[in-house]
Chain A
Amino acid sequence: MLDASSQAGSSRSGPLLSAISISKRYGDFLANDCIDLDLFSSEIHALLGENGAGKSTLVKVMYGLIQPSGGELRWMRQKVVLAGPSEARLLGIAMVFQHFSLFENLTVAENVALGLPPTESFAAISARLEETARVYGLPLEPKREVWRLSVGERQRIEIVRALMQNPKLLILDEPTAVLTPQEADQLFLVLDRLKSEGRALLYISHKLEEVKRLCDTATILRGGKKVATCDPRQETAASLARMMVGADIGEVKAMSGRSVSVPRLVIYKLSLEPDDPHGTHLEEVSLEVRGGEIVGIAGVSGNGQGELFSALSGERLSPAEGAIVIDGQAAGLLGVTERRRMGAAFVPEERLGHGTAPRMKLSENALLTGHAASGMVKKGFIDKPATLTAVDRTTKSFDVRKAKRDPEAVSLSGGNLQKFIVGREILREPGVLVVSQPTWGVDAGAAATIRQALIDLAARGTAVLVVSQDLDELAEIADRIAVMFHGRLSEPLDAAEATRERLGLLMGGANPAKPAGPQEAKHAVGA
């Protein structure tokens, strides 16, 4: 709890932390361009912007992780230069990262101790950690190893660790990306409590409804620049979106009345032990995806989506050949190359390192999935011109922006690389497409292109399976949605019945009753 005088003092005398004309340059690229931002106590301030707008960079500057190329920071009106996170912590700034800084093979207590200054004994930290966690309603067991915990529990470690420093300013970077809607509600209660204790909170997000619900002020970034500071409660989601994106993004047009044909991808009672001991068991996963439809699989990451993808692509073989059926043929025991020959295509979650080899050229990355069945290999020899043609076609059809004709994959921005990877597969006109997190970390323009491409592909008769953590995305494109939890797949719901509440409960492992009737449909996601 902060004492009342400092609380009153700072609101009387000005902002707690000010960013004044902060710029950050990486070579030619300006990640932050003269940004001004003021943070006050007892206030939740949102930092809005789409992926790539510069939010994470700005926040890392405020936390001392990165040094600004220009501008300065002021703490309670005094100029400060933060050499590193420990200096920021000394001032009273704590941060909960989007990607957790945790050590899987160490215990909760050890993880917390590593994030705190070495002034307390380990035993004292352990005790205080349990206490703080309990007080704020985020229970934790000090002696458990982190790899045993779920994503939501891991985030608790990050939050409790931050709270134990009694911070004046708490920064949260996309905290609800990995939470079920119910867990997100829990988090909001904690944040409101922190606000009432007099702390300042900086909440980074691209989720407009959340921000409208939770935050007092919002600063919007676009292309590295500050576009506006406003009161989100006075704005509509549409006006906020327009400020974030700069224009009205063309709405993704779902083709109504798409004709749906036979099941082209069938998963039948797939049970699989994980490769990795920290992985998830798949338990009797069953699903049918018909030609012409898009089926979505929702769920917080870490519930078996990765394992399911590996099983579908053929990177891992199934126990039985009938566990996976593609266009009527049993494929469970076939490898990736053979499945591609059967007309299946796959887009994995990780662009660099899994979907592409980062330091290889795009033409070689086209060969990566193309060698199976796209005429790029003749009698063991590579047809280089054919690979280049594939790159050109993909570039043209999917508007991939790049510096030269055939650059290394790593030199493309996230959105452009994702367009290449998705385009590479769609141009093969597959009969079945499985894609995981299609627009994660991708700017709004590229995201719209990709989603439209998926819809158009389905309209041409392909069976499309989309695994995504983004409920809004699934709402936009999926005809039916199932939820993955602890390696089990729920029965798919029709999009109209798949309300945020129901999906949220399923993502959290509960078993909601079937919808009562028409009034439920009014709350349907995306309505």
Chain B
Amino acid sequence: MQLVLEKRPERSTFIAVASPLIAIVLTLVTMAILFAIMGKNPIAALIVYFIDPLTDAYSLQEIAVKATPLVMIAVGLSLCYIANIWNIGAEGQFIAGAVCGSWLAVHTNGTDAGFWVLPVMLLLGAIGGALYALIPAICRVYFGASEILTSLMLVYVADLGMDYLVRGPWRDPKGLNFPTTAEFDPVATVPTLIEGGRLHAGAIITLIVVMLATVLLGRMIMGFEIRLVGAAPRAARFSGFNADRLVLFTFAISGALAGLAGIIEVAGPVGHLQPNISPGYGFTAIIVAFLGRLNPVGILIAGLFLALTFIGGEEAQISMKVPLDLTKVFQGILLFYVLACDSLIIYRIRLLRTIRKPVPAHA
């Protein structure tokens, strides 16, 4: 008996729809097994992870707060990934945007600046992220260097750069030597949407981004270009699309979105610049993008789902002493199952009888 992979004549719409659900179910089963190995009650753990956060208003808000940067970054990444352009450096672009926007906050801190501060900060964040993302893009277009490696290396550079700034020139002089900038002024802070809550205006911006992306990919010629470059690069060239220009464009957009997410996160929930402003949003966004099938609405749902697991993971750490790393394991396993199930959209698995041994020929 042999299992072989065979291409389907047409994509299976059933699997296309069902695949994320199947992947989630498989992941839950795997996680249950993991919990059991770790000596925790699987059902109880799964409930803490996935059900409890949905039960109180505070957690629900936290889910939205966590989902905001994830979805925003992931939408940008999806534009790249559809075109087979691999921006792995979203984490670095997030930081670059946070730094660029924070520059204005730090330098107007304590002064009497007006309401223009926040919008300009957001703009600077987007521009900063876009410019930082253009570095690996230019390396690919003009030098042929792999954007996977260059964008990733720049994550470490951005992290170290921000570390230097908050420990050095931008450190709050009144901050008792903690590596952080001064708390941002109210004009430099993203407004919240609910009194006393943490849900902030960034969520609205994210929803707008999702809507714009949906229109772009589904109805506009630019969206067709992105999809074509990813599906058949030679045909894309034949169609008249310039692949180089697309690399620059998608990197810039995804960098801008990541940078915007960065400054919103810093000027919103966090309130100041410090090391570790991101629990790996840039990398988790990659999972969100794939889990959402590189589709803006799918990403919105996937982002909320993964945010749920972040909150659940924090809760499980407190109440069940489950290590926080488990959330990362969950995300990795989920991504594996999503990729595996997605493969079944184009291929199917068949069981073949093995070939009988040949009869020796008459010499």
Contacts and interface: CB of A to CB of B under 8 A. Distances in A.
Interface of A: 27, 67, 75-84, 87, 90-91, 313-315, 335-337, 340, 346, 348, 350, 353-360, 364, 367-369, 371-372, 377, 380-382, 407-408, 411
A315 B221 CA distance: 19
A84 to B, nearest CB: 8
A382 B220 contact: yes
B238 A348 contact: yes
Interface of B: 9-11, 219-222, 224, 227-228, 231-232, 234-240, 242, 346, 355-359, 361-362
Nearest to A6: B363
B208 to A, nearest CB: 19
A346 B238 contact: yes
B242 to A, nearest CB: 7
A336 B231 contact: no
A368 B358 contact: no
Contacts of A371: 221, 224, 239-240
Contacts, number: 99
Nearest to A337: B240
B235 A90 contact: no
Contacts of A348: 238
Given A91-B361, A353-B232, A360-B232, 13 more contacts: A27-B9, A336-B237, A336-B238, A336-B240, A350-B234, A355-B238, A357-B236, A359-B231, A360-B231, A371-B224, A380-B220, A381-B221, A411-B9
A382 to B, nearest CB: 6
Contact of B219 (A335, A358, A359, A382): A382
Contacts of B220: 380-382
A260 B319 CA distance: 87
Closest 7 CB pairs of A and B: A337-B240, A357-B232, A336-B240, A83-B355, A354-B234, A368-B239, A357-B235
A75 B228 CA distance: 50
Contacts of B9: 27, 411
Given A314-B240, A336-B238, A78 B361 contact: yes
Contacts of A377: 221
A405 to B, nearest CB: 13
Contacts of B11: 359, 408
Contact of A353 (B235, B239, B362): B235
Nearest to B231: A357
B240 A340 contact: yes
Contact of B235 (A75, A335, A368): A368
Contact of B355 (A67, A354, A358, A411): A67
A381 B217 CA distance: 10
Contacts of B242: 335
Nearest to B355: A83
Nearest to A380: B220
B236 to A, nearest CB: 8
25 contacts: A67-B355, A75-B362, A78-B361, A80-B359, A81-B358, A82-B358, A83-B355, A313-B238, A314-B240, A315-B237, A335-B240, A335-B242, A348-B238, A353-B235, A355-B238, A357-B231, A359-B346, A360-B227, A360-B231, A371-B240, A380-B222, A381-B219, A381-B220, A382-B219, A411-B9
Q: Which of B9, B235, B238, B362 has the most CB of A within 10 A?
A: B238
Contacts of B362: 75-78
Contacts of A355: 235, 238
Contacts of B359: 78-81
Given A78-B362, A360-B231, A380-B220, A336 B356 contact: no
B250 to A, nearest CB: 17
B279 to A, nearest CB: 37
Contacts of A358: 231-232
B358 A354 contact: no
A523 B224 CA distance: 52
